[in-house]
């Protein structure tokens, strides 16, 4: 197979997968942060 | 709060820097686009018609490589291109790209030769670069291959 | 998000906010549509690569470099028409008072970011294809130059989105910028018809919509189009979730800071 073709496919696949993974990681960390905020506020209410 | 406004100010500065860089790139692109002429090439017949004004200045010429005209001579490739009824003989320096073959449309960078033949000015295009102009037509080379996989 | 601000006088988050929080956590969590889009993207991608690299025939002139046909046009299509089209439409929906909602601003931004990724891939795969077919990595023809201009315009749009201001002023500024950037999309599309270019004319979106490729190639290309569309859909959901979460966490944290300062006084 032509190496130019392989390079084209690889660049497309790697960047799309890379961007998708970065989206998943960013979403997960934000969700964790929000979960923590929610838990903290519940803790505070319980304390009172 | 002051720390916060500091952060905001620095962020704004960063965005302004990014936008200025983009503006410079934008300017370069537009400049290159316009100076390289928005019409990428002249067809061989257009070029021959405009031969007086073109003189020996560089431009891009387009046409189909005529079948049995391709010849190699030392480092040079000799062939003719046609568009409509116009035929332009070409001398090209260096080796042509892989897809170069009889019948294929090409775009050549170069200029008309100024040399005068016995019968007035000989029509000759001196090319420094050959580019293959692929059309939007695709043709399957080995249709059998699909059948084999399917069966 | 107004309910979060209403709690300013309370010691803590109100019950209303807790419900909102739970809603947002649920919305941004796993869902059937996300799995469907994700699975669809992976299946169509695997099929496109398999058909594109191993099953479809070579082209008579191009040999096996024709296999870039299943990557380059699908990413270009998804960038120009799907992603930037969505950004334009969403920006118009923000600007039109009857449909004005921050939802559209977030959609416009999310779609533009994905469009920039796809457009960069369009230029890269196009450059590779140009090298093998034309014999040059880059040339200043109208199609290529205007596509590079398009990338610069949408990167600038993403940068302008980062500038601050009140949320309403920001969204309006974003929408107007998006409409400016969108002017170049039809110019890129018609460039190959309006001027002489080295780039070929369209194979699918031809003026008469006649396919200029053999059926097996056309179908694989179609699968490629479906694939980049599904991936765009999946990315849109993920990117929108992030915007939603950022907006809420940002507001909650500033609210906490206010509460904290008040308790310190």
- Residues B105 and B46 reside in one and the same domain: yes
Domain assignment present for residue B149? The answer is: no
Model confidence at B136, in pLDDT bands (50, 70, 90)? Answer: confident
- Residues B58 and B127 reside in one and the same domain: yes
Sequence spans of domains, chain C = 2-264
Residue C209 falls in which region: left (phi positive, over 0), alpha (psi -120 to 50) or beta: left
Question: By the CB < 8 Å criterion, does A32 face chain C?
Answer: no
The two three-digit tokens of residue C62, written as one number: 């191009």
Domain assignment present for residue B137? The answer is: no
Q: Are strands B42-43 and B59-65 parallel, antiparallel or unpaired?
A: parallel
- Residues B54 and B11 reside in one and the same domain: no
- Residues B31 and B66 reside in one and the same domain: no
Question: By the CB < 8 Å criterion, does A27 face chain C?
Answer: yes
Question: By the CB < 8 Å criterion, does C27 face chain A?
Answer: no
Is CATH 1.10.287 correct for C2-264? no
B139, B143, B151, best to mutate vs chain C, most C CBs in 10 Å: B139
Residues in C touching A5 (Cβ below 8 Å): 53, 64-65, 67-68, 132
Predicted local confidence at residue B3, as pLDDT: 61
Compare CB distances from C59 to B29, B131, B141 and report the shortest one's residue: B141
Contact C92, C177 (CB under 8 A): no
Predicted local confidence at residue C12, as pLDDT: 57
Predicted local confidence at residue C81, as pLDDT: 96
The pLDDT tens digits of the residues spanning A1-48 come to: 789 999 999 999 999 999 999 999 999 999 998 888 778 777 766 555
Domain CATH code at residue B106: 2.40.50.140
What average pLDDT values come out for chain C (265 residues) when binned by 10 residues?
Answer: 47 71 90 95 96 89 88 96 97 96 96 98 96 90 94 97 91 96 95 89 78 87 96 97 89 76 74
Residue of B nearest to C52 (CA): B146
Residue of C nearest to A43 (CA): C12
Closest CA to C157 of C123, C138, C185: C185
A6, A12, A19, A25, best to mutate vs chain C, most C CBs in 10 Å: A12
Give CA–CA dist C243/C221, Å, rounded. 33
Question: By the CB < 8 Å criterion, does C18 face chain A?
Answer: yes
Count each helix (H run) and each strand (E run) in chain C, helices first.
10, 0
Mean pLDDT of chain B: 83
Predicted local confidence at residue A44, as pLDDT: 65
Q: Which chains touch B (3 or more CB pairs under 8 A)?
A: C
Asked if B40 lies within 8 A of C195 by C-beta distance, the reply is yes
- Rounded to an integer, what is the distance from CA B34 to the centroid of its chain? 15
Predicted local confidence at residue B130, as pLDDT: 92
Predicted local confidence at residue C69, as pLDDT: 92
Closest CA to C116 of A19, B21, B20: A19
Task: Give me Rg for the CA atoms of chain B.
Answer: 25
Three-class SS of residue B61? Answer: strand
Q: Which residue has the tokens 């080796």?
A: B95
- Residues B50 and B112 reside in one and the same domain: yes
Closest CA to C74 of C90, C104, C97, C52: C52
Domain assignment present for residue B63? The answer is: yes
What's C9's DSSP letter? G
Q: Which residue has the tokens 């920001």?
A: C170
Predicted local confidence at residue B21, as pLDDT: 96
Q: Quote ipTM for the complex.
A: 0.89
**Residue B111, strand partner residues:** B126
- Residues B18 and B69 reside in one and the same domain: no
The whole domain housing B106 covers 42-132
- Residues B70 and B118 reside in one and the same domain: yes
The pLDDT tens digits of the residues spanning B32-81 come to: 888 876 788 999 988 988 888 888 888 999 999 998 888 888 888 899 99
Asked if C212 lies within 8 A of B136 by C-beta distance, the reply is yes
- Residues B58 and B101 reside in one and the same domain: yes
- Residues B52 and B84 reside in one and the same domain: yes
- Residues B52 and B124 reside in one and the same domain: yes
Query: How many domains are there within chain B?
Result: 2
Asked if A13 lies within 8 A of C253 by C-beta distance, the reply is no
Q: Which residue has the tokens 């396919």?
A: C211
Q: Are strands B116-117 and B120-121 parallel, antiparallel or unpaired?
A: antiparallel
Separation in Å, CA of B141 to nearest CA in chain C: 4
- Residues B53 and B13 reside in one and the same domain: no
- Rounded to an integer, what is the distance from CA C94 to the centroid of its chain? 17
- Residues B32 and B56 reside in one and the same domain: no
Domain assignment present for residue B144? The answer is: no
Residue of A nearest to C64 (CA): A2
Give CA–CA dist B75/B90, Å, rounded. 14
Separation in Å, CA of B121 to nearest CA in chain C: 28
């Amino acid at each position: 197979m032509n190496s130019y073709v392989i390079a084209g496919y690889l660049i497309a696949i790697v960047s799309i997968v890379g961007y998708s993974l970065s989206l998943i990681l960013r979403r997960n960390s934000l969700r964790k942060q929000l979960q923590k905020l929610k838990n903290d506020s519940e803790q505070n209410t319980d304390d009172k | 709060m002051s720390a916060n406004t500091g952060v905001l100010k620095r962020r704004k500065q960063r965005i302004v820097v990014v936008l200025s860089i983009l503006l410079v790139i934008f300017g370069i692109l537009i400049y290159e686009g316009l100076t390289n002429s928005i019409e990428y090439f002249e067809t061989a017949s257009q070029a021959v018609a405009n031969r007086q004004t073109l003189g020996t200045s560089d431009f891009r010429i387009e046409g189909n490589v005529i079948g049995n005209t391709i010849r190699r001579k030392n480092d040079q490739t000799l062939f003719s291109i046609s568009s409509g009824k116009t035929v332009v003989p070409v001398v090209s320096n260096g080796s042509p790209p892989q897809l170069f073959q009889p019948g294929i449309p090409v775009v050549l960078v170069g200029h008309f030769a100024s040399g005068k033949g016995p019968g007035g000015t000989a029509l000759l295009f001196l090319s420094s670069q050959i580019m293959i102009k692929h059309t939007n037509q695709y043709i399957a080379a080995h249709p059998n291959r699909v059948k084999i996989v399917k069966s | 998000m107004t309910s979060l601000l209403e709690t300013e006088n309370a010691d803590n988050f109100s019950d209303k906010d807790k419900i909102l929080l739970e809603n947002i956590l649920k919305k941004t969590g796993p869902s059937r549509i996300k799995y469907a889009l994700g699975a669809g993207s992976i299946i169509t991608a695997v099929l496109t690569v398999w058909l594109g690299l191993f099953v479809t025939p070579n082209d008579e002139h191009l040999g096996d470099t024709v296999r870039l046909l299943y990557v380059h046009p699908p990413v270009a299509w998804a960038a120009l028409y799907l992603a930037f089209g969505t950004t334009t439409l969403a920006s118009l929906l923000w600007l039109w008072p009857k449909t004005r909602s921050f939802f559209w601003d977030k959609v416009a931004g999310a779609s533009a970011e994905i469009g920039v990724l796809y457009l960069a891939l369009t230029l890269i795969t196009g450059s590779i294809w140009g090298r093998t077919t034309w014999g040059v990595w880059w040339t200043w023809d109208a199609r290529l130059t205007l596509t590079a201009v398009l990338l610069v315009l949408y990167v600038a749009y993403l940068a302008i989105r980062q500038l601050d201001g009140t949320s309403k002023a920001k969204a309006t500024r974003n929408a107007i910028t998006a409409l400016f950037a969108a002017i170049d999309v039809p110019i890129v599309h018609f460039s190959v018809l309006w001027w002489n270019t080295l780039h070929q004319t369209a194979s699918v979106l031809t003026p008469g919509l006649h396919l200029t490729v053999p059926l097996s190639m056309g179908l694989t290309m179609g699968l490629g189009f479906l694939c980049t569309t599904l991936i765009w859909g999946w990315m849109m959901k993920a990117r929108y979730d992030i915007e939603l979460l950022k907006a809420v966490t940002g507001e909650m944290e500033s609210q906490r800071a206010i509460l904290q300062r008040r308790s310190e006084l």
